[in-house]
Amino acid sequence: MESKKFFTAEELERATSNYADDSILGRGGYGTVYKGVLLDQRVVAIKKSRIIDERQIEQFINEKHRLRIASEAAGTLAYLHSTTSMPIIHRDVKSANILLDENYTTKISDFGASQLVPLDQTQVTTLVQGTLVYLDPEYFHTSQLTENSDVYSFGVVLAKLLTGKKPLCMERSQEERNLATYFIMGIKENRLLQILEPWVVREGTLEQLQAVAAELVKRCLNLTGEERLTMKEVAMEREGLRKFTKHPWVQQQIHEEVMGFMSEASDLYTVSINTSSRGASEQYSLDSPSILPLINNPQ
């Protein structure tokens, strides 16, 4: 069976000669169907949806904004760990629980498993909960929940964003089926450029890739919790996440409202938190089909 293929907006424009009128096959209530010719000369039908609301364009968030969203999510988790009156450990950090509202504000959802940590304690002994492929191995084996457990889970989210791989893939070798292991082994074996998504390699210098991927993500995924970064440290490293969108030819293409949703350092922990993902109006998860380009391989 042929696997799914995702096309960029540029590839679709090229296939249809920039949606030329002589490529139109038909029109419907929801859009226009064009004849397209792919690079391998296959002829396909391409449907271009009709825009009812201009904001719908931004539902299909391109790769340039993925790390931007991850950066804001890091700030939110840092707020929960460091700024609330009593620290909150989310305990189920994963891409499906990172939502975007209609204004593209990042929100952390699903606090059903979250745990308050008394100010005089740094860890809590509790029943292990969470999503297995994102779960901190140290917490899994000891039942000792700490803020570092969220850091590990966030590291898996970052690895997923950078590689476009599923957190668990049975098609990889047995020792690399887990994304965290796959990512760390790729770094140790000097395969960094091979495991990252092409757009990441194109947009970042080798120095930036090593700083973000080989250092930031690697330290989040450390098997020993005490040796991981704190979420506050991850959030302070957010400039590294944003460097991939700093190129001048990218800046001209980013909408003003999207540029604005990353706050400055002075209000690093100004966040919106959604306590439930059910019944949310106009919200999209990082795993939502409506913003499929954000995560190429949703779980």
End-to-end CA, the chain: 19
Q: Is 48 annotated as a binding residue?
A: yes
Which tokens belong to 238?
Answer: 């957010």
State yes or no: is 92 an active-site residue: yes
Catalytic residue of the set 92, 110, 136, 150 = 92
Give dist(CA 278, CA 171) in Å, integer.
Answer: 33
Q: State the binding site for ATP.
A: 48
Catalytic residue numbers, as ranges: 92
Annotated binding site: 48
